[in-house]
Amino acid sequence: MMEQILNDFLIIWATIDPIGTMALFAGLTASLSPSERRKTAFKTIIYSSAVLLGAIVVGQIILTAMGISLLSFKVAGGIILFLFGLKMIFDDSSPRNEMDREHNMAVFPLAIPATASPGAILAVILLTDNYTHPIHQQITTTLVMFSILLITLGLLLLSGRILRIIGSGGASILTRIMGIILAALSVEFVVEALSIEKWISSFS
């Protein structure tokens, strides 16, 4: 049991990437007030939890019914992430210029596809496959997922300290850097799409 918990933790941690999500969050929310940043952090985790829990419960059924392969889902997520990475690099607009921007930001890209990434969705679907994992293992995997999301929330709430240290100029630079990293990460999603199922199976 402990070996399964450790394996699940490592896989889900790697695909959610709490550290990378915190860095992205710090860059995107640099111009928000502390209260808005906290609200955005909680909304991000709530939306991410809903998406990943939905993937565990009905994700594989829906994708199969629609004839969409998990591979295609991951590639599509990579393309979307690449486009947003470009927007972060070249867009000079302020987050305050649009109504409810912090809410929209919590949904995209912070919840999807940064936290509940295509890789994370794929991982929880495969790790809770009804055909290979009994119900008690699926419940354990779900609890592991929620524990990592709570850790991610804690890191997001701490991102304000980073912003106070680097200032507005540093935040602007951080946003551009994270845009480049997101673009590179999206390419990585596509490149590794053919091998991720084998990678997860090796831990199971």
Length of the chain as a residue count: 204
**Band of residue 95 on the pLDDT scale cut at 50, 70, 90:** very low
**Band of residue 58 on the pLDDT scale cut at 50, 70, 90:** confident
Q: Does pLDDT of 67 surpass 70? A: yes
| Full 3-state SS string of the chain | CHHHHHHHHHHHHHHHCHHHHHHHHHHHCCCCCHHHHHHHHHHHHHHHHHHHHHHHHHHHHHHHHCCCCHHHHHHHHHHHHHHHHHHHHHCCCCHHHCCCHHHHHHHHHHHHHHHCCHHHHHHHHHHCCCCCCCHHHHHHHHHHHHHHHHHHHHHHHHHHHHHHHHHHHHHHHHHHHHHHHHHHHHHHHHHHCCCHHHHHHHHC
Amino acid making up residue 190: V
* 178-197 confidence digits (pLDDT tens): 677 767 767 776 776 656 55
Q: Which of 99-103, 142-146, 165-169 has the lowest mean pLDDT?
A: 99-103
* 149-158 confidence digits (pLDDT tens): 999 999 999 9
* 168-178 confidence digits (pLDDT tens): 677 667 667 76
> What's the pLDDT at 102?
54
Which of 27, 14, 12, 9 has its CA nearest to residue 188?
Answer: 14
> What's the pLDDT at 100?
54
> What's the pLDDT at 202?
59
Q: Does pLDDT of 87 surpass 50? A: yes
The ranges assigned to domains in the chain are 2-203
Q: What is the mean pLDDT of residues 44-57?
A: 95
Mean model confidence pLDDT for the chain: 79
- Sorted by sequence, the CB contacts under 8 Å of residue 7 that are 6+ apart come out as 203, 204
> What's the pLDDT at 47?
96
Q: Which of 53-67, 118-132, 165-179, 187-201 has the lowest mean pLDDT?
A: 187-201
Verdict on whether the full-model pTM lies above 0.75: no
Cis amide leading into 113 (omega within 30): yes
